[in-house]
Structure 1
């Protein structure tokens, strides 16, 4: 099964159950990140494990331990303005910051996500790449 169809199944389950996907993700928060391809101009939706960090969430560009960063990171970095996420039954715009491993804050933010998502340690074994993280700032009204 390709990544797209696997993601589509997660997205369908998320939307059918107000953000609760269950199975492998039981008890974990997922967000659906909407991003626009920087070359294609096409909108994509990527389901991501989102570790709570105060009024924000940390998502990680692990791509299951693949050797290269997923496209959505570069798409966010080249975008202008807030990103759109689906969290539970709500959809809203969030301010975000991409934090790469050379940033002094990276280790703390990555450890929040790593402690939240048990599979992180498996992903780390598959590659020497350090995974960028993104802090999604959820608006106070959400």
Structure 2
């Protein structure tokens, strides 16, 4: 099972042939700019398509803190996304309260543990919408 930097490396080297299909779900690579360092950071994240957009969840396994990649997007919403061999620029936004329930259902259908993560933290776990920049 691929994790962390090795997951990113194999995904990039194989255009997702290794790493896109992971643990009975699907994964994209999200590259954000470090809010302190300015360096690029790439994170493998479970995703689903939602219309023309892509959804990811800032769960960090139900940790009380937001994941670093989400904090980076809050500071600078411009990101790069890789889905299999396709790479594109995206702008990230947090799902609005009115749209989040439907998006949450889409994401828990692919990774039911998100419901457990939410139960285990007081933090409202964000759904992040990645909108392709055209």
Q: In which range does the TM-score fall when normalised by the shorter chain?
A: 0.7 to 0.9
The answer to whether the aligner puts 1:63 opposite 2:57 as a matched pair is no
Of 56, 76, 91, 1:95 maps to: 91
TM-score, normalized by length of structure 1? 0.78
Q: Deviations over 1:15-55 (max 9, x none)?
A: 2432242451x3x3211111111112121111110112121
User: Moved runs in structure 1, 4+ residues, more than 3 A?
Assistant: none
How many residues align structurally? Answer: 131
TM-score, normalized by length of structure 2? 0.82
Distance 1:14 1:125 in 2: 31
Task: Provide the aligned C-alpha RMSD in A.
Answer: 2.3
The answer to whether the aligner puts 1:124 opposite 2:124 as a matched pair is no
CA contact (8 A) 2:33 2:79 kept: no
Q: Secondary structure at the match of 2:3?
A: helix
5+ residue gaps, structure 1: none
Q: Deviations over 1:35-94 (max 9, x none)?
A: 1111121211111101121211110000111111112112112216x3111111121101
5+ residue gaps, structure 2: none
1:106 shift after superposition: 2.0
